[in-house]
Amino acid sequence: MCNTPEFPILEKQNWLIHLHYIRKDYEACKAVIKEQLQETQGLCEYAIYVQALIFRLEGNIQESLELFQTCAILSPQCADNLKQVARSLFLLGKHKAAIEVYNEAAKLNQKDWEICHNLGVCYIYLKQFNKAQDQLHNALHLNRHDLTYIMLGKIHLLEGNLDKAIEIYKKAVEFSPENTELLTTLGLLYLQLGIYQKAFEHLGNALTYDPTNYKAILAAGSMMQTHGDFDVALTKYRVVASAVPESPPLWNNIGMCFFGKKKYVAAISCLKRANYLAPFDWKILYNLGLVHLTMQQYASAFHFLSAAINFQPKMGELYMLLAVALTNLEDTENAKRAYAEAVRLDKCNPLVNLNYAVLLYNQGEKRGALAQYQEMEKKVNLLKDSSSLEFDSEMVEMAQKLGAALQVGEALVWTKPVKDPKSKHRSTSASKAANFPQPLGSNQALGQAMSSAAAYRKPPSGAGGTSQLTKPPSLPLEPEPTVEAHPTEASAQIREK
């Protein structure tokens, strides 16, 4: 009878530690680890490694970092230990230190795509996008992964380059055609660009592979809502509500559906819920301000629009809506200041100048009104030359009346009025009359609202551990879900009483 060789004492319990870990029986795992470390006087590398993984899963990142550093001392030539040290540093927000450790790990293993990927993610957090792109391209060269494509696309989105982002996601979909996250992201990007056919195609493919994909359903509902199919959109949102009942974009979109159906109280109720769930989302605050303006609740509108401006101080339309509220609150001087800021920030929207001109005309400042009217005509000409946009009929009518009142001719530079409220060019709201002869634009009723496509969540955070037969490796660093269907601001029409 042959004698069975004994395992070295340092490793004889490793199989049991691994078994408890992959079963997620962490209490039993910690008990075995404690016993093993007592027997080995704290020199069992694997026990320390798994203990550190458990600490990180429990949220004790600093403790896990110290244990991984101990593993790196016990086995300095092991790249996995250094990768875990770097990962804990990343989760603690020490991105520069994480980069240094990843570079040390890369010296031990130069063909590890994960190290290149994670270096790219760290550089993203440091806003060094060129270095991040280089590292992510290196990772793709070593081994193609969906997550690397996602992060590379995210860089282009952060830089505002939608075309490059779409190219990256198209390559990703070719590599992984059944990845619903990639399909949904690509669909949302096309939706943001107004390419509805391709958007619908990719969102439909995502729903084919995963009929319960709430992001794709939310995006499809948003597209229907954009085209005025509010009842169909609400049906889609009902499905999403059962999956993610606390989604701020969902309740924002539901609120704007009710706004489009002119059910303003229900709209405010849903938007307030969205605002409770995401108090720093300026789009929700924008829409709340718009609905309150529609209901002629100007003080509440001022409150929400001011809050939106704090989060989005460089958007001209917000200042224009704020000026509308101030005009109706009879604060003409501050309304003028708000319009002046709106004109300074918004170089494209002729409605800003039109509303400002109406206010100045109603205040008897015909020279200023004429200057704004002429600036509006310049913007309209530029829009006509650069695109085939058609303008809302009420906007054209208001401009014609103002032109006649200012004696600058009755023929306007626009094309013939468009009666379709879904015309491509949409703007926001209007002005109130003062006690002046022939007032224009009095107490505008804000028209049919639309909510839109996709917004991108920028703040990322790291992801937590995993397991493997020997040492559970670190995973590629990744953000939280990259894309969620989210409405942009609602749009409205000018309407004269």
Segment holding 455, helix H or strand E:
strand 454-456
Contacts of 42-46 with C-beta under 8 Å, sequence gap 24+, read 43/10, 43/74, 44/10, 44/11, 44/13, 44/14, 45/10, 45/71, 45/74, 45/75, 46/11, 46/14, 46/17, 46/471
Please tell me the predicted confidence (pLDDT) of residue 477.
52
Section 14-40 average pLDDT: 87
Section 77-82 average pLDDT: 88
Segment holding 20, helix H or strand E:
helix 14-22
Q: What is the pLDDT of residues 288-338, one digit of tens each?
A: 999 999 999 999 999 999 999 999 999 989 999 999 999 999 999 999 999
CA distance 148 to 477: 9
Please tell me the predicted confidence (pLDDT) of residue 487.
41
Q: Is the separation of the CB atoms in 83 and 71 below 8 Å?
A: no
CA distance 435 to 152: 58
Q: How confident is residue 374, by pLDDT bands cut at 50, 70 and 90?
A: confident
State both tokens at 337.
């200041």
Please tell me the predicted confidence (pLDDT) of residue 45.
87
Please tell me the predicted confidence (pLDDT) of residue 431.
38
Selected residue with higher pLDDT from 480 and 62: 62
Q: How far is CA 339 from the centre of its chain?
A: 28
State both tokens at 488.
């942009």
Selected residue with higher pLDDT from 422 and 109: 109
Q: What is the pLDDT of residues 182-203, one digit of tens each?
A: 999 999 899 888 888 898 899 9
Q: What is the pLDDT of residues 141-185, one digit of tens each?
A: 988 888 999 999 999 999 888 889 999 999 999 998 988 899 999
Please tell me the predicted confidence (pLDDT) of residue 123.
93
CA distance 83 to 102: 6
Buried b (16+ CB within 10 A) or exposed e, 313-349: eebbbbbbbbbbbbbbeebbeebbebbebbbebbeeb
Residue 149 identity: Y
Residues 6+ apart with CB under 8 A from 327: 335, 359, 431, 432
**Does pLDDT of 486 surpass 90?**
no
CA distance 121 to 115: 10
The closest of 455, 442, 448 to 427, measured between CA atoms, is 448
CA distance 180 to 410: 54
Q: What is the pLDDT of residues 404-430, one digit of tens each?
A: 888 764 444 444 433 333 333 333 333
Section 5-18 average pLDDT: 70
State both tokens at 62.
């600093």
Q: Is the separation of the CB atoms in 447 and 493 below 8 Å?
A: yes
Q: Is the separation of the CB atoms in 497 and 398 below 8 Å?
A: no
Please tell me the predicted confidence (pLDDT) of residue 422.
33
Selected residue with higher pLDDT from 278 and 12: 278
Q: How confident is residue 6, by pLDDT bands cut at 50, 70 and 90?
A: low
Q: What is the pLDDT of residues 286-302, one digit of tens each?
A: 999 999 999 999 999 99
Please tell me the predicted confidence (pLDDT) of residue 12.
74
Q: Is the separation of the CB atoms in 492 and 321 below 8 Å?
A: no
Q: How confident is residue 393, by pLDDT bands cut at 50, 70 and 90?
A: confident
State both tokens at 480.
């939280």
State the pTM of this model.
Answer: 0.66
The closest of 335, 403, 338 to 374, measured between CA atoms, is 403
Cross-strand partners of 392: 418
Q: Is the separation of the CB atoms in 129 and 158 below 8 Å?
A: yes
